Amino acid sequence: MNIQDKISLKVKNMPPSGIRKFFDVASEMGDAISLGVGEPDFDTPWHVREEAIYSLEQGKTVYSANAGLLTLREEICKYMKRRFDLTYNPKTETLVTVGGSEGIDVSLRTLLEAGEEVLIPEPSFVAYMPCTIFAGGVPVPIATKAENQFKLTADEIENAITDKSKLLILPYPNNPTGAIMEREELEKIAKVIIKNDLIVLSDEIYAELTYGINHVSIANIEGMYERTIILSGFSKAYAMTGWRLGYALGPPAVIQAMTKMHQYVLMCAPTTSQYGAISAMKNGDSDVREMRKAYDGRRKLMLDGFKKMGLSCFEPKGAFYVFPSIKETGMTSEEFCEALLKEEKVAVVPGNAFGSSGEGYIRCSYAYSIAELKEALVRIERFVSKILASKS
Amino acid sequence: MRNKILELLEENSQYTFEDISIMIGIPIEEVASIVQQLEDEQIICGYKTLINWDEVEDKEVVTALIEVKVTPQRGEGFDKIAKRIYMFKEVTSVYLMSGGFDLTVVVEGKSMKEVALFVGQKLAPLDNVLSTGTHFVLKKYKEHKVIFEKQKKDERMIISP
């Protein structure tokens, strides 16, 4: 028997994430600097950790309600009202998930019939495509463009729509580009979405991390509330990646169907994490403000650094990534990243890992200390100027 | 703008004017002139380095926190006696307190004996000082928002992009 043959083709044929190989090499070099990590460098605020510890001391270690602790759901709904002016019912329109990732998986599997198409703007988070395929759907990438600041346009959606289109994933603020969608831009795409009767999975995991402008959810646009599922979580805003906690908000029928699936697959999200998260929702606004301020300073430092190197880099208004173009060097993203790692020991992520439209770019996370970022910029600058000099 | 600069410098006084200008998005010259102003107005009162002397082997620094009860003076309140105390070079901080005593005086010295001598010979005998209570610091865990522990390693893994 060849056990290999027993693995489903759906899984076997899925390429591994295009990220790892660089970082396996990087982690073996002692003095390499990595700008590759997609998670905050802050620790979870102490009051959140303390609340979770207290819940453990109290022996609150049993399953929670399938949809999550009601208190947490209530706090999430208050938070959504306070921060984004959106009203959800904690009992019928809120599901606490195991990270934003589960939200993506469960919503796709809840909504998709085999062969239905999911529109996925790219470059974007690497899990949308595999999760769509695992759910039996067909991913239809939409390449967003640097000249549109990687925003999604109505025309681009229209061109991708077929009679099989069912869902649009809306990944803004965007990983890896840092692009955001503003109200007027959302209004424009909303028309197309409504006209074609699409459902939107709005991945708003970076909603708290926008700079100089507040995040607007597409659920806030007229006619969109009833066809939008918001997927979000605690990982990025509250530096809680390891807690694996997120939430989904949307029309009762969808949330209840998702809850059914969630109940069979996962029972409930980790109870300890949920107790901590209650404190994040209740008392965490100032923590988020402080972290956002720190990220903003680093963002400007990175942007300035890349501009001084002569690489074009549009100003990211969200998340914690910059996405400079390296086309000037004449190298592909992968060549650039490999050579940069070899010569200057800096690890960044090639843009094509996020879809073919990311070719010609690199993603640099600025979830690192100012000192590390400055050192990385010095090294990248040395590397780039050598290449540009040898070309001219 | 002033507050933004102050917050950054409070976090790390080694940020250069260039760093600050990039991070808050104003020209370097403007940063320099605002910092100058803040120094002139004595809002920025100095730049120091936070040192954990416990980790330095060939030098000992003893810190004591002294609760001092004093008689306030007519027309001067506590200010005059506070000044008599803070002018001593052994004194690193003086605070006027609410509650059971009046002044918190922080004193540094090379040894417990040196600090005790200071309290016994200089501080306690002052006119207007009614009583002192000396508490020696045994270990510093955190000062000025900085935790004096070995920094932990970055344990983040490249799990997902």
Q: Cα-flanking dihedrals φ and ψ of residue A216, to 5°?
A: -115, 130
* CATH number for domain B53-143, candidates 1.50.10.10, 3.40.50.720, 3.30.70.920, 3.40.50.1820: 3.30.70.920
Question: Dihedral sign, CA of A172, A296, A249, A39?
Answer: positive
Cβ–Cβ gap B158/A34 under 8 Å: yes
The answer to whether residues A36 and A348 touch, using CB atoms and an 8 Å cutoff, is: yes
Average pLDDT, chain A: 95
Residue B161 pLDDT greater than 70, yes or no: no
Chain B residues within 8 A of A39 when measuring between CB atoms = 156, 159
∠ CA B138-B139-B141 to the nearest 5 degrees?
150
Residue B92: how many other CB atoms lie within 10 Å? 12
Q: Please give the pLDDT value at position B73.
A: 84
B-chain CB neighbours of A178 within 8 Å are none
Closest CB to B161: pick one of A34, A38, A293.
Answer: A38
First-residue to last-residue Cα distance in chain B: 35
Residues of chain B whose beta carbon is less than 8 angstroms from a beta carbon of chain A are: 7-8, 12, 15, 19, 22-25, 154, 156-161
- Spell out which chain A residues touch chain B, with contact meaning CB-CB distance below 8 angstroms: 17, 19-20, 23, 27, 34, 36-39, 41, 125-127, 175-176, 293, 296-298, 300-301, 304, 349, 353-354, 363, 370
Overall average pLDDT of the A337-349 stretch: 93
β-strand pairing of A199-203 with A228-233: parallel
The C-alpha atoms of residue A36 and residue A349 are separated, in whole angstroms, by 6
For residue A102, give the H/E element and its range: helix A99-111
Does B12 sit within 8 Å of A349, measured CB to CB? Answer: no
User: What average pLDDT does range B62-79 have in this prediction?
Assistant: 91
Interface predicted TM-score (ipTM) of this complex, two decimals? 0.72
pLDDT at residue B155, as a whole number: 78
Q: Using one digit for the tens of pLDDT, what is the confidence trace for B108-145?
A: 999 999 999 999 999 999 989 999 999 999 999 998 88
Average pLDDT over residues A326-344: 93
Q: Residue B24: its chain A contacts at CB < 8 A?
A: 297, 300
Burial class (CB in 10 A: 0-12, 13-18, 19+), B61: middle
Torsion angle of the four alpha carbons A305, A125, A234, A107, in this order, in degrees rounded to the nearest 10: 160
Q: Which residues of B104-142 are buried (b: 16+ CB within 10 A; e: fewer)?
A: ebebbbeeeeebbebbeeebeeeebbeebebeeeeeeee
Q: Do B154 and A41 touch (CB under 8 A)?
A: yes
Contact A127 B25 (CB under 8 A): no
Give the tens place of pLDDT for each residue, A178-223: 999 999 999 999 999 999 999 999 999 999 999 999 999 999 999 9
Average pLDDT, chain B: 91
Bond prior to A123 in cis (omega within 30° of 0):
yes
Tokens of B103: 């002044």
Check CB contact under 8 Å for A353 and B161. Answer: yes
Dihedrals phi, psi of A30, to nearest 5 degrees: -60, -45
Strand A117-122 and strand A138-143: pairing? parallel
At A239 the pLDDT is 97
CB contact under 8 A, B161 and A298: no
Distances (CA, A) of A219 to A190, A211, A227: 10, 21, 8
pLDDT range class, residue B158, cuts 50, 70, 90: low
Cβ pair B158:A36 closer than 8 A: yes
Distance of alpha carbon A132 from alpha carbon A137, whole angstroms: 5
Are A98 and A248 in contact, with CB atoms under 8 Å apart? no
Residues paired with A364 in a beta bridge:
A322
Q: In chain A, what residues touch B161 (CB-CB under 8 Å)?
A: 17, 19, 36, 38, 125-126, 175-176, 349, 353-354, 363
Q: Does B23 contact A300 at a Cβ distance shorter than 8 Å?
A: yes
**CA–CA distance, A9 with B136 (Å, rounded to integer):** 70
Beta bridge partners of A239: none
